[in-house]
A and B are shown apart, each in its own frame.
Chain A
Amino acid sequence: AQTVTQSQPEMSVQEAETVTLSCTYDTSESDYYLFWYKQPPSRQMILVIRQEAYKQQNATENRFSVNFQKAAKSFSLKISDSQLGDAAMYFCAYRSSILGTYKYIFGTGTRLKVLA
């Protein structure tokens, strides 16, 4: 069965600094998607970035980038130039690409605090 593990319950970063959130997953599938979601105190979930497993190039979205290591089943999120608005819960998620019976698994989340 697929699993997603976020081993850092909480992390802190100084404003303008860089932070990396870790995520590992386990799957026997070869094709899948990985996501990072942000949930600020308002609880409204935001899709931050996604990675298709068949793409070797790491995804980037402005200050957010991932380090996708398929063989190691690792998918970390790097936030550059951290801002106060980045403070939130971050969830890593796995979704297989097989429609109809796909699994959609979320990690337990990492709470990111941004210090002024």
Chain B
Amino acid sequence: KAGVTQTPRYLIKTRGQQVTLSCSPISGHRSVSWYQQTPGQGLQFLFEYFSETQRNKGNFPGRFSGRQFSNSRSEMNVSTLELGDSALYLCASSLVANLGSRTKQYFGPGTRLTVT
């Protein structure tokens, strides 16, 4: 079974531009969550989608948005990029949104975004 894939793996953008990152979950998984990892802020939760609905959102400005499609693939968009948006963006997939009950969660390799 193929793992979680994220595209692109590396991206360089200029301040003020916008960017869209993609995450394809493991086949059959309906929940996708996104995380930002930076040296300064560490790991932070961005949002979580289940069956095309945003279930939860972290404390990020409105410039960060996402969506999930009927095939469970998810995209996240960052508009008006700032230097501080440079980060590793991770996505994870699971069968269901509830991570209790031994639900397995699998991460993708991440997208490294550099904003210059």
Mark A residues whose CB is within 8 Å of B: 33, 35, 42-47, 50, 52, 91, 93, 95, 97, 99-102, 104-109
A100 and B42 contact, Cβ closer than 8 Å, known pairs A33-B99, A43-B88: no
Verify B110–A44 contact, CB threshold 8 A: yes
Q: How many chain B residues touch the partner (CB < 8 A)?
A: 23
Q: Which residues of A contact B56 (CB under 8 A)?
A: 99-102, 104
Q: A44-B107, A44-B109, A50-B102 are in contact. List 10 more A-B contacts (CB 8 A).
A: A43-B88, A44-B108, A45-B92, A47-B107, A97-B100, A101-B56, A104-B58, A106-B42, A106-B45, A108-B42
Verify A42–B42 contact, CB threshold 8 A: no
Q: Which residues of A contact B58 (CB under 8 A)?
A: 104
Verify A95–B99 contact, CB threshold 8 A: yes
Verify B97–A99 contact, CB threshold 8 A: yes
The majority secondary structure among interface residues of chain B is strand
Q: Indicate if B21 sits at the interface (CB-CB under 8 A).
A: no
> Quick one: which of B44-88 are within 8 Å of A by CB?
44-45, 55-56, 58, 88
When the two chains form the complex, which single residue of B35, B88, B100, B110 contacts A33, counting CB atoms closer than 8 Å? B100
Among residues of B, the one whose C-beta sits closest to the C-beta of A59 is: B102
Verify B99–A50 contact, CB threshold 8 A: yes
Q: Indicate if B105 sits at the interface (CB-CB under 8 A).
A: yes
Verify A106–B43 contact, CB threshold 8 A: yes
When the two chains form the complex, which single residue of B35, B43, B100, B108 contacts A50, counting CB atoms closer than 8 Å? B100
Q: Which residues of A contact B97 (CB under 8 A)?
A: 99
Among residues of A, the one whose C-beta sits closest to the C-beta of B4 is: A44
8 of the cross-chain contacts (CB-CB < 8 Å) are: A43-B110, A44-B109, A47-B105, A97-B100, A99-B97, A101-B56, A105-B45, A109-B42
Verify A99–B110 contact, CB threshold 8 A: no
Q: Which residues of B contact A45 (CB under 8 A)?
A: 35, 90, 92, 107
Among residues of A, the one whose C-beta sits closest to the C-beta of B91 is: A45
Q: Which residues of A contact B109 (CB under 8 A)?
A: 42-44
CB distance from B43 to the nearest CB of A (A): 4
Verify B99–A99 contact, CB threshold 8 A: no
Among residues of A, the one whose C-beta sits closest to the C-beta of B57 is: A101
When the two chains form the complex, which single residue of B43, B55, B88, B90 contacts A100, counting CB atoms closer than 8 Å? B55
